[in-house]
Amino acid sequence: MAFGNAGSGIPFPGARGAPFRFSMAAASGLLLVLALPKPDLHYLGWVAPAPLLIALTASESRRSAAAAGYVAGVGFFGGSCYWIVSTMTVYGGLSLPLAVGVFGLFVVVFAGHTALFAFWMRAHVERFGIRGVLLAAPTWVAVELLQSHLIFGGFPWMLAGYALAPFGGLLQVVAWTGVYGLSFILVGVGSLFAFGVAARDMRALALAGAVILLAFALPTPAEETPSDPFRVRLVQTRIDIEQSWAADDRVRLMDALEALTVEADPGLDLVVWPETPAPLRLDAGSFFEPRARAIARRLDSHFLFGYIDSIGDRPSNSAGVVSPTGLQVARYDKIHLVPFGEYVPLRSILFFAESMVRNVGDFAPGVEHTVSRVGGRGLAATICYEDVFPGLIRRFTGRGAEVIVNITNDGWFGETSAPYQHLRMSRVRAAENRRYIVRAANTGVSAIIDPYGNIVARTEIGERRVLDGVAGYRGDLSVYVRYGDVFAWLAALASVVLTVLPRAGARMGRRTVSSGP
C-alpha cells in the first residue's frame, strides 16, 4: 500500500519554529513516561512517538531535529528514572544537590540516544520525503540496541515496547522477537499516526487504528495448570536498609524470619528468600549458615537465597541453594553488576562523588551462566536487575533452565515507580523465554509469573509475608531463545541500508552521467 505524496516539502510551513518542535518533542517524552508503570496509562503509548515524528518533519535541519529529539529524551529518561535521585540520597549517601547533579549527568548522556534517533530520522525524511517517517520503527529499534549494549554494559531499562505488555495477546510476539518486537510495533503505529497527520492520509490513520483494535481483540493465553508443577514459597523479608546487625538485633530478625518461613508447611518443593541488604554468608561459623540448613531440613524443601560469597579476594553477590538434607548443592555468582551500586566505573574520575563511592561495594562479577539441578530439574537463579537484560536471561534458558528464579532487593527504590517497572520487565522475560519466573523481592513486588507473562500471584510493596503458589517446569525453547535478537538486528540493518543505499545510488548515477559516451 502506497501512502500519500513522497515530496520532501515541510507539511507544516507555519510551524518551523523551535517552540513548536520542542513542545511536540516534550509531549512525546511525557506520553511515553505516562504509558509506563506507574501511572501505567499504557494506551497512551500508541500515540507517544507521533508528536516527535511530526516535529522532525517540521525541522529545518538534522541538527534542529536532533535538538528536538534531545528534548524528548530528557523528558523520557528524566520522567521514567526520577527514582535514581532518592536512591542516591537515601542509600548512596549523597547530598540532594549532588544527587540531582549526578542524575542530571545520567539524563544528559542517555537522552543522546533519542537525539541520535531524531537525527537519523530527519535524514530519512530528507531522502524519502514525508514517507521517511514510516522508517521510524526499525530506526528506533536500532537505537534501542545501542542503548542496551553501550555505556557501562548497557541500560535497557523501560524500553518503549514495555508500554504494550498489558496487551496480553500482543505480548506473545516477544517469544519470536524479544521486547524489541513490541517497540517496533509501538513506534510503527506512532509513525502511521504521524504520517497520516503530516500527509493528511486517512489510510495511514485507519491502518494505525486497525492495529490498535487488533491488540485489544487478541486473546491472552494463560497456563492455568502447569503440566509439570511444583509448590513454591516466596518469603518477602522486608529487611530495612538501615537494619542493625548487632548480635541481639540480628538474632531477633533471624528468629522472626525463620518463624515466618516455616509456618504452616503445605508440602513445599522450593522456598526462596530474596536478595537483601544483609551480611548473610555461608561460611562455617557465620550466624546465617546453621539457620539456612535448618530451614531446608525443617521444610524438607530446597531453599534458595541471596548471600555474600567471594571470588578471589573480592566479595561476590551470590545465590545459593541448600537441599532438604541441609547441604549446599548450587551457587550462582551475579554476572551483570549494577554500576554505581555494586561497583563504581571510572572511580578515579568520580572524585566529586566520594561519599557514594564509599557506600558502594566493590563486587567481583561472576562469569558462568549457572543452571543448577534442583530436584533433577534445571533452575536458573538471577539476581536483581539482571532480568532487565533479555540476552542474559535467554542464555540461561538455552543452557537448560526449566524455571527462572529472580531474587531482588527493590527496597532501594522505596515506593517509587521503579519496583513496578522492574515487575513489568520480569513479565516480558517470562513471555520471551516461555518460562515461569518466580520472583522474590525484599520489600515487593514478589510474584509468580506464568510463561505467557501473566501474574499468577503477587505481593504488595512494604509487606513482610510469605506467598505460596504453584509454578511449573518447561523444556521447550522459543524462537527468541534459539536465535536471540535476530529480529532487532535485521530491523537495525534495514534502517542502516536505507540510509546508505540512496546515497550510493545517487553517486553511481552521477558517475554514469559524467562518464557518458
pLDDT tens digit string along 255-267? 999 999 999 878 8
Residue 162 is predicted with a pLDDT of: 98
**Closest residue by Cα to residue 444 from 471, 468, 412, 475:** 412
In a domain? residue 8: no
In a domain? residue 308: yes
256 and 357 housed in the same domain: yes
Residue 382: is its pLDDT beyond 80? yes
158 and 258 housed in the same domain: no
In a domain? residue 397: yes
152 and 258 housed in the same domain: no
Residue 16: is its pLDDT beyond 70? no
Residue 354 is predicted with a pLDDT of: 52
215 and 235 housed in the same domain: no
Cα-based distances in Å from 427 to 32, 197, 430? 19, 34, 5
Measure the CA angle with vertex 122, ends 118 and 126; round to 5°. 175
Task: Provide the pLDDT confidence category of residue 351 given band limits of 50, 70 and 90.
Answer: low
Task: Provide the pLDDT confidence category of residue 502 given band limits of 50, 70 and 90.
Answer: low
Task: Provide the pLDDT confidence category of residue 11 given band limits of 50, 70 and 90.
Answer: low
Domain count, the chain: 2
Burial class (CB in 10 A: 0-12, 13-18, 19+), 338: buried
257 and 401 housed in the same domain: yes
Residue 122: is its pLDDT beyond 50? yes
Residue 202: is its pLDDT beyond 90? yes
188 and 252 housed in the same domain: no
Scored b (16 or more CB within 10 A) or e, 33-51 reads bbbbbeebebbbbbbbbbb
Over residues 407-428, the mean pLDDT reads 94
Structural domain that includes position 339: 229-482
207 and 286 housed in the same domain: no
129 and 270 housed in the same domain: no
Q: What percent of the chain has pLDDT over 90?
A: 77
132 and 280 housed in the same domain: no
Which CATH number does the domain housing residue 441 bear?
3.60.110.10
- Tell me the pLDDT tens digit for each residue of 225-234: 898 999 999 9
Maximum average pLDDT range among 93-97, 351-355, 414-418, 484-488 = 484-488
Q: What percent of the chain has pLDDT over 70?
A: 90
Task: Provide the pLDDT confidence category of residue 14 given band limits of 50, 70 and 90.
Answer: very low
Residue 60: is its pLDDT beyond 70? yes
In a domain? residue 5: no
In a domain? residue 395: yes
319 and 215 housed in the same domain: no
Q: What is the mean pLDDT of the chain?
A: 90
Residue 517: is its pLDDT beyond 50? no
Residue 497 is predicted with a pLDDT of: 93
In a domain? residue 13: no
Residue 339: is its pLDDT beyond 60? yes
In a domain? residue 426: yes
**Closest residue by Cα to residue 41 from 52, 33, 53:** 33
Residue 451 is predicted with a pLDDT of: 97
Measure the CA angle with vertex 154, ends 151 and 157; round to 5°. 125
Put simply, whether the predicted model's pTM sits higher than 0.75 gets the answer: yes
C-alpha cell at 135: 522508517
Q: How large is the C-alpha radius of gyration of the chain? A: 25
In a domain? residue 131: yes
43 and 172 housed in the same domain: yes
Residue 58 is predicted with a pLDDT of: 87
Over residues 402-419, the mean pLDDT reads 93
Number of Cβ atoms within 10 Å of the Cβ of 349: 9
Residue 62: is its pLDDT beyond 70? yes
Q: Show the 3-state SS of 317-367.
A: EEEEEECCCCCEEEEEECCCCCECCCECCCCCCCHHHHHHHHHCCCCCCCC
- Tell me the pLDDT tens digit for each residue of 84-100: 998 888 777 778 888 89
122 and 242 housed in the same domain: no
Residue 172: is its pLDDT beyond 80? yes
Residue 507 is predicted with a pLDDT of: 53
Roughly how many angstroms between the first and final C-alpha of the chain, as a whole number?
40
Over residues 99-126, the mean pLDDT reads 94
Of 141-145, 191-195, 498-502, where does mean pLDDT reach its minimum?
Answer: 498-502
Residue 355: is its pLDDT beyond 70? no
Residue 499: is its pLDDT beyond 50? yes
Residue 349 is predicted with a pLDDT of: 64
Which residues carry out catalysis?
275, 334, 384
Over residues 349-356, the mean pLDDT reads 56
Residue 385: is its pLDDT beyond 70? yes
In this structure, are residues 175 and 479 in contact, taking their beta carbons and an 8 Å threshold? yes
- Separation CA 103–CA 511 (nearest Å): 51
Residue 366: is its pLDDT beyond 90? yes
